[in-house]
Structure 1
Amino acid sequence: MTSTVQTTGKPTTTPPPQQKIVIAKRPAQAAKAGVVIELRANFIPVTKFEFPTVHYYSFDITDHKKKKAGRKDSDKVFAEMKLKKKFGVNNLPVYDGGQVYSFTELPIGHSTSTRSHEVTIPVDSDGSGRAKHFKVEMKYQGTINLRDIGEYIKIGSKKPWDGSIQNNLTVLNAYTNFKVRSRHLSVGKKAIFPTATDSQPTYLPGGIEMKQGFYQSIRPGWNQLVINVDICATTFYPEGPLIDVVPKILKHPRDKHEKTRDELRRGLEKREIDALNWYLKGSMVCVTHRGDNRKPKYKVSFLTSEPADIAKFKQDNRDITVSQYFKEQYGKPLQYGRLPCVVVIKPQDRSKSFFPLEFCELTTGQKYEDKPLSDDARRDMVQKTAVKPADRFQRILSGINGVFNHQKDENLRSIGMHVEPKFIQLKGRVLAPPNLITTGGNITPDGGRWDLKKFTECAGLHNWAVVVFENKNFAPMENVKIAIKQLRSSLIEKGMNVSTEPLIEYGNPQGGFDKTLAIVAEKARIYRERPAQLIICIIQKKVQGSSGIHAIIKRICGTQLGVISQCIVASNMKGPTPNRWKQICGNLALKINGKLGGKNCALAERELNFGTNRPYMVFGADVFHPGREEKGRPSVAAVCASMDKTVTKYIGRYSMNREIKNETIENLEGMAVELLQQFKKRNNILPFQIVFYRDGVAEGQFEHVLDKEVKAMKRAFARVYEAHQRPQLTFVIVQKRHHARFMPVQPIDADRSGNCKPGTVVDTAVVVPQEFDFYLQSHASPLGTARPTHYHVLVNEANFPADAMQILTYKLCHLSVRCNLAISHVTPVHYAHHIANQAKHFVIWDGGNKSSGSGGRGGGGCSKYTDATCERIKTDIENSMYFV
């Protein structure tokens, strides 16, 4: 844990926990390491702006039931009021779905009284929906001075990021995006999806439509504002008649043809009806049977299990089929009477309405977001959205000139903003790749990858078992033995001592996993007279979600048996070529050696520069937050930390957040204490310096993280260290969810895919002068455009110079045991992500069945999960790298 390279500057003393912690400033000495290259960024400059003061107003919209209007209706209300000149004849207010902003005062007045309006939204142009009546209440709130952000972006500014900067950006983004949002289908406040006139809709497996569009966001830059413009894609329900959509939903990815209309007339199997029911539940449809150009909209509750020819309901004290009803009532015999019906349950009286599929149309612009995509759909979407840098930048340029037209935007002109429609060019630097040490000697990555003949430190495997959760017809014993023989050969080839053949057993792929795994673990223990080190499970398919076999196996092996597991999808053993399985075995060997305590490779001596000759430690942290399809599930936080001087061996801890929607790590102090104690146990000393990489925090949360998580680390230090021996802390935020992209201006500076070369750093032009942040593209991206990771140093008690911080971060991207590649972000964050993703399946909670309307939040309406628990990994393996 030593390094002979010293950073400049004197170490700072650790402030007491109660002292306010200030965000670190960019070091005075600019970074210079690496080869300088010219880059093009997907940012365009704001070349003229006086940072005026803007008035803002609340804009509350309710329907006749005093229910708050949704976003789409709110946008329509604002548009209707603007059309009717309710804001004045010459005023140009903008609306972002929350508040109204205007450079000139609107005829509302400064009093505390509220100005009310009655607004009617007409029926949609296609006749769908109904006319709606709303009440609007507007109230003057005050002014927002945009000079705050003007001061923030100046060179030499001392103004910190605070609430005023966030408010300024909210206003500016409202002005930047209002016009295009009002003209095109939009998602959120910054993404739009113009109608494609020259192409057919793009469908993913499962009948989901993928739309491609544009994203833009105004950002603080180096002494100027910049607008980040990118292409984006998301998923929607396709619009149009359900009869045309049903074949796309039911088509299997391997099917060559969709069902025809004649085939639909024959009816559907139960599994097909179940698939349709799952897909359509919760979607919005309009019905077309009335014949008077009215198409009322309804939310689908479910589909009938019986076809319209058989499904019955009560009418005038008699049972009547849906087919009979539509023939008698509307004179429309059903052409698809053997198909199920859409059922709509009216919330006011819980009555049911039945609509044949042939009279239903999916409405326009419905985001497909409450259901997870299948593996096939995800794979297809990745392939369809993988765009080379040159093509991506050309598409963005066409959007800037053909869609956004900033120079013709009257809203931007109203606040005096001029935007130059050309990409910013800036200077980046390509850092040299580090030297890696292996058994065969030192190697240097080429293009972010390297070949590893033998492991640097090999684990021994003396007792292992294989459980086949697959039908014997698809995975016969002879084939399994051949596949495992190749795996054993690959492990030995890499240097591992695999002294025994594994025990091989079959299990029921449909259930009983806990019992099967327990029996196999016990058999292996008896057979070798020692506990099993590893159980390899051959499964049918790696299904995402808590019900997937992969997740179940990880939970059972980790929290019940205390044995390391590795899952293999059975179909991978029957690859298209014999070499395919051999290649997979090589990748499995990397993970297995790491799980069992080995070391695949490491940075060569003197490569690690922590600026101290004393012990150091690297942390990584991430929080899993449930998506819409897992609404109500508690968030799970994970922290891992290095345990050796080569920063290659890590252990991890995880915990469930008790507070609902809490973005911070609640039990960081406790987990940090355990990790520090383990470090001391292994090294007989505590680290003098700690570098902590925290994933998934937005700029608006920086102050909160400083106040909660940095102080939690300080409290952990106070519990473990003597008062005069507290360590230096460097706390770095890792941001991957952004839209910044870079491309070399000269092709000679690009890699074979046209991307920046691994090691490319950007820390000027599109970042703020005083903040200690930088973009680093550490990986290669052969398929699409590489996304750099944005690192932001919040605390720098070790006084890391800019060069030292950037180089250290880049080198830490080369240490994942999962691959022989430089990954897109630092290894400890990579590991923390995997720990959190596994640990989310260790949470036991009610899933929404016990609490009334609280979505699984114990105690119904409380702010905490009161009856949820999180199973802990067994002590047998909790200090291993079981998570890789």
Structure 2
Amino acid sequence: MSAPEEKDFSVDRATRPEKPGTLGKEVMIKANFIGVTKFSYPEVHYYSFEIVDQKKKKAGRKDSDRVFLQMKVTKKFGTNTYPTFDGGQVYSPTELAIGHSKQTRSYDITVPVEADGSGREKTFKVEIKHQGTIVLTSIGDYVKDNSKTPWDGSIQSNLTVLNAFANNKVRSEYLSVGKKAIFPPSRDNRPIYLPGGIEMKQGFYQSIRPGWGRLVINVDICATTFYPAVPVIDIIPKIVKHPRDRHEKSRDDLRRGLDRKEIDVLNWYLKGVMMFVTHRSDNRKPKYKVSYVDHQPADLAKFRQGNKETTVAKYFRENYGQSLQFPRLPCIVVVKPQDKSKSYFPIEVCEIYKQMPDDARREMVQRTAVKPWDRFDRIEGAIKGIFRHNNDENLRSIDLVTDPEFIKLKARVLPPPKLTSNGANINPQGGRWDLRRFTDCPDIYNWSVMVFENRSYFPPEVVRNAMKQLRNSLHEKGLNVSTDPYIEYGSPHGDYEKSLALAYQKARIKKDRPPQLIICIIQKKVLGASGIHAQIKRICGTILGVVSQCIVANNMKGPNPNRWRQICGNISLKVNGKLGGKNCVLAERELNFGTNKSYMVFGADVFHPGREEKGRPSVAAVCASMDKSVTRYVGRYSMNRKIRNETIENLEGMVADLIKQFQRRNDVLPFQIVFYRDGVAEGQFEHVLHEEVKALKRAFDRIYGEKDVKPQLTFIIVQKRHHARKEDSDRSGNCQPGTIVDTEIVVPQEFDFYLQSHASPLGTARPTHYHVLLNEAKFPVDAIQNLTYKLCHLSVRCNLTISHVTPVHYAHHIANQAKHFVMWDGASSGRSVTLQMPRVRESKPRLRI
């Protein structure tokens, strides 16, 4: 019997409605874009460009750039040619010397010593081959005023070519990171160092983008960091030392080795960290991911070498001619995921990159948070003094001319919505408001405190006084807290599950009822604190079935009591939301979905692991509103099986489960669904639209059945990682919250807009870019923009408008926490867990691994 054919769901991408948006007050603003005033959209030849060294190993990016520049200087590409290189392919408006030959042309290129005397002369073998031509008229048709041309692969390839021409010259002149960011020397040529020896460089970013009727160039400032390498043996004293010990262990102390407890602490810190080794005679420093720290010292740890056993210390002495200085220290073990084989490395030959401490991160934020007028002055200086687009030989070769002045455009400022709380009307001013009492509050009849700190440093009376202030703050906001909490102590590096279970059980015995809330107090300087927060939430939420709230211990102490009082107010917001309460809601008739029937709002995001976690699958999260006021949400998350897959693989199952939850709570299925999807680039729109929208349609079929009317679906992409900035003439230089831009720097046929929904008193605000890809409810421009702005006012975590819609804010938070929840064994197989947040559930969720 043949398998049933999969149902074909047609998906028509939304276009911009004919009637433009008119809601709000018109203002004139300035954007960090310059316009392309002349461009003929020529045909460009492209060539493959393969480079290997004398050992037939593929050249790195830096060497590839040097080889290309050397070939250009020595006229290997021919005379009167202007080729560009983006790190992968070579582009040229005219044919290079190799012509259209389908045969590969080979060269032996010797790269001389660098100008500063560093490096050494190297010889590379280059193979270059003509692959075809790219016609740039595709992007020209796409940006026309009355264009109906949709985004497709040709548009993306055109932009790749154009950005290669725009960035090739400056990338060859300055330090660069990626294809679009450059870092010229500072004016005084003095490096900037952050705490911990981390170097920060400030530079500029540029990208050619499609605009309304023309191309535009987006130019912005950017920053990057360079981390110094640190021998593991030098950081051991800081790791195994208790934070309140006066003296660190010396190197001589380490010669005696570590006890089991100290090794456990070291294991907790190093597990999963990327390291490299320094003992090889060929000067190579291969990278490895730490699996664990062995309990056996190097002079006792044994492994098989051929037919005999040997110790790690003896192996290094016989094979590398070096006796270990610290043979009593344990070894770092690396387990290969392919065959589970183990490699042992003495600690003294291992180095790691220093992590960015909190004070360094804070200083970097302060240094990069510049006012809009300062940012625009620096960008203007870079346009005229560094990029000099109209003098760039590569841009001149394709006849591209720009206007160096910033684009000025019309924007609209939407009016803020009215909020209510406990019967009182609230009018947000400047993206913020005061919230005296919450709308809906639960009773707290039993709660406990788990202190992951030393009792002598953080005595019970200090905890009790701090909790008394927190209890008063909860009372002021409307929560009835009938008892003082039970207080328990645990080790900062101990068994969190055991400690939390103990606090749970003792509080339950004391009140003869299970606690609803566990306050967890942790050290500020505990390494990997964000991971500890996540583990505590996982244990409390999925194992104990109780809400948790983490607090940094140092926040409770200090000379300024008003600071702790303010922190208690912020904690109250989160606690009330986690316990199922409502802080504030939009006033009646503020939410307009164009229907009197039921509706749901979804948010979705995918967390991708960093480069140091190569091979680890991504974690996807989805959350959905459960009530008419769109303030209570339920969330789900799962691990993708395919490595670095941007698509949410289990979307159908998670959405179906959330719709069932909605039906159980409201006795009705939603008639309309608005789905906000975060973290997708333009080149992935079509793929995500077809894959994920079809998954949503399949979920609707599962829940609604074949005969029922399916919900109207509006699918919106949310983009936060871009370089578009705006400047207004108010006191801060930023645009006002509610500022909408949907002309000039967008294309006419796409239904997209920039919305700056939040205030940014310290630096330059970044608007969020929304793309409406599906509009089955036929929302007008004003309706979807106004709805989106109002959904930025409903986060339970603050009394501020946030920079993007609340469901995406929650989904991002869930995915970021869930990366610590899931278990991963180094293979690509997925794991799935369920989560609800805030806590609006009937029963304890189950952890499925």
Shift of 1:871: 4.2
Shift of 1:267: 12
- Counterpart CA distance in 2 for 1:409 and 1:484 is 64
Give unmatched runs, 5+ long, in structure 1: 1-15, 251-263, 288-295, 324-339, 344-350, 363-367, 847-855, 858-864
- Counterpart CA distance in 1 for 2:609 and 2:843 is 24
Conserved? CA contact 1:844–1:869, under 8 Å? yes
Q: Which residue of 1 aligns with 2:733?
A: 754
Letter in 2 for 1:706: L
- Find the residue that maps to 1:451 and give its secondary structure: coil
Q: Does 1:497 align with 2:480?
A: yes
Shift of 1:843: 0.9
Letter in 1 for 2:710: R
Q: Does 1:730 align with 2:714?
A: yes
Conserved? CA contact 2:418–2:586, under 8 Å? yes
836, 840, 850: which one pairs with 2:815?
A: 836
Conserved? CA contact 2:637–2:835, under 8 Å? no
Q: Which residue of 2 aligns with 1:718?
A: 701
809, 831, 840: which one pairs with 1:869?
A: 831
45-54 or 100-109: bigger deviation: 100-109
Coordinate RMSD, CA, aligned: 3.7
Letter in 2 for 1:509: P
Q: Which residue of 2 aligns with 1:125?
A: 115
Q: Which residue of 1 aligns with 2:775?
A: 796
- Counterpart CA distance in 1 for 2:656 and 2:49 is 48
Letter in 2 for 1:793: V
**Per-residue displacement from partner, 1:274-324 (whole Å, max 9, x unpaired)?**
99999995499999xxxxxxxx9753879xx99xxxx9999999988999x
Q: Which residue of 2 aligns with 1:845?
A: 824
- Find the residue that maps to 1:381 and give its secondary structure: helix
Q: Which residue of 2 aligns with 1:40?
A: 30
The 5 Å alignment of 1:531-610 reads 531-541=514-524, 545=528, 548-610=531-593
Shift of 1:160: 0.5
- Find the residue that maps to 1:588 and give its secondary structure: helix
829-838 or 127-136: bigger deviation: 127-136
TM-score by length of 1: 0.82
Q: Which residue of 2 aligns with 1:743?
A: 727
Q: Does 1:699 align with 2:661?
A: no
- Counterpart CA distance in 2 for 1:656 and 1:353 is 32
Shift of 1:101: 0.5
192, 197, 204: which one pairs with 2:182?
A: 192
- Find the residue that maps to 1:809 and give its secondary structure: helix
- Counterpart CA distance in 2 for 1:30 and 1:317 is 75
- Counterpart CA distance in 1 for 2:531 and 2:837 is 25
Q: Which residue of 2 aligns with 1:879?
A: 841
Conserved? CA contact 1:371–1:628, under 8 Å? no
Letter in 1 for 2:457: F
The 5 Å alignment of 1:350-389 reads 372-389=355-372
213, 217, 222: which one pairs with 2:207?
A: 217
- Counterpart CA distance in 2 for 1:382 and 1:733 is 27
Shift of 1:877: 5.1
- Counterpart CA distance in 2 for 1:587 and 1:881 is 28
Conserved? CA contact 1:597–1:881, under 8 Å? no
Q: Does 1:427 align with 2:410?
A: yes
Conserved? CA contact 1:651–1:880, under 8 Å? no
- Counterpart CA distance in 1 for 2:589 and 2:150 is 36
Q: Which residue of 2 aligns with 1:463?
A: 446
Conserved? CA contact 1:559–1:874, under 8 Å? no
461, 466, 469: which one pairs with 1:486?
A: 469
- Find the residue that maps to 2:590 and give its secondary structure: coil
**Per-residue displacement from partner, 1:450-487 (whole Å, max 9, x unpaired)?**
00000011111111111111111221100100000110
- Counterpart CA distance in 2 for 1:379 and 1:314 is 42
- Counterpart CA distance in 2 for 1:711 and 1:481 is 54
- Counterpart CA distance in 2 for 1:105 and 1:677 is 61
169, 175, 195: which one pairs with 2:159?
A: 169
- Find the residue that maps to 1:373 and give its secondary structure: coil
Conserved? CA contact 2:638–2:831, under 8 Å? no
The 5 Å alignment of 1:513-524 reads 513-524=496-507
Q: Does 1:805 align with 2:795?
A: no
Conserved? CA contact 1:565–1:882, under 8 Å? no
Conserved? CA contact 2:27–2:412, under 8 Å? yes
Letter in 2 for 1:233: A
- Counterpart CA distance in 2 for 1:103 and 1:377 is 46
1:314 and 1:769, CA in 2 relative to 1: closer, same or farther beyond 3 A?
closer
Letter in 2 for 1:374: P
Q: Which residue of 1 aligns with 2:796?
A: 817
The 5 Å alignment of 1:9-20 reads 18-20=8-10
- Find the residue that maps to 2:502 and give its secondary structure: helix
- Counterpart CA distance in 2 for 1:738 and 1:179 is 23
Q: Which residue of 1 aligns with 2:755?
A: 776
Q: Which residue of 1 aligns with 2:263?
A: none
Q: Does 1:103 align with 2:93?
A: yes
Conserved? CA contact 2:738–2:758, under 8 Å? yes
Conserved? CA contact 1:285–1:300, under 8 Å? no
Q: Which residue of 2 aligns with 1:203?
A: 193
1:874 and 1:44, CA in 2 relative to 1: closer, same or farther beyond 3 A?
closer
Conserved? CA contact 1:459–1:593, under 8 Å? yes
Task: Calculate percent identity across the aligned residue pairs.
Answer: 65
263, 278, 299: which one pairs with 2:285?
A: 299
- Counterpart CA distance in 2 for 1:38 and 1:736 is 23
Conserved? CA contact 1:114–1:139, under 8 Å? yes
1:438 and 1:298, CA in 2 relative to 1: closer, same or farther beyond 3 A?
same
User: Size of the alignment, in residue pairs?
Assistant: 783
1:575 and 1:27, CA in 2 relative to 1: closer, same or farther beyond 3 A?
farther
110-119 or 817-826: bigger deviation: 110-119
Q: Which residue of 2 aligns with 1:861?
A: none
- Counterpart CA distance in 2 for 1:713 and 1:314 is 58
Conserved? CA contact 1:621–1:693, under 8 Å? yes
The 5 Å alignment of 1:227-246 reads 227-237=217-227
Conserved? CA contact 1:312–1:319, under 8 Å? no
- Counterpart CA distance in 2 for 1:585 and 1:524 is 22
- Counterpart CA distance in 2 for 1:404 and 1:207 is 31
- Counterpart CA distance in 2 for 1:29 and 1:823 is 28
- Counterpart CA distance in 2 for 1:467 and 1:113 is 71
Shift of 1:801: 0.7
1:510 and 1:650, CA in 2 relative to 1: closer, same or farther beyond 3 A?
same
Shift of 1:499: 1.5
- Counterpart CA distance in 2 for 1:439 and 1:353 is 62
1:607 and 1:276, CA in 2 relative to 1: closer, same or farther beyond 3 A?
closer
- Find the residue that maps to 1:421 and give its secondary structure: strand
Letter in 2 for 1:663: E
Conserved? CA contact 1:624–1:840, under 8 Å? yes
Letter in 1 for 2:469: Q
1:545 and 1:470, CA in 2 relative to 1: closer, same or farther beyond 3 A?
closer
**Per-residue displacement from partner, 1:243-270 (whole Å, max 9, x unpaired)?**
9xx99x99xxxxxxxxxxxxx9999999
- Counterpart CA distance in 2 for 1:496 and 1:547 is 28
Shift of 1:628: 2.1
TM-score by length of 2: 0.86
1:78 and 1:881, CA in 2 relative to 1: closer, same or farther beyond 3 A?
farther
Give unmatched runs, 5+ long, in structure 2: 1-5, 239-249, 259-265, 289-296, 299-312, 333-342
Letter in 1 for 2:285: K
Shift of 1:527: 2.4
1:266 and 1:659, CA in 2 relative to 1: closer, same or farther beyond 3 A?
closer
Letter in 2 for 1:299: K
131, 153, 159: which one pairs with 2:149?
A: 159
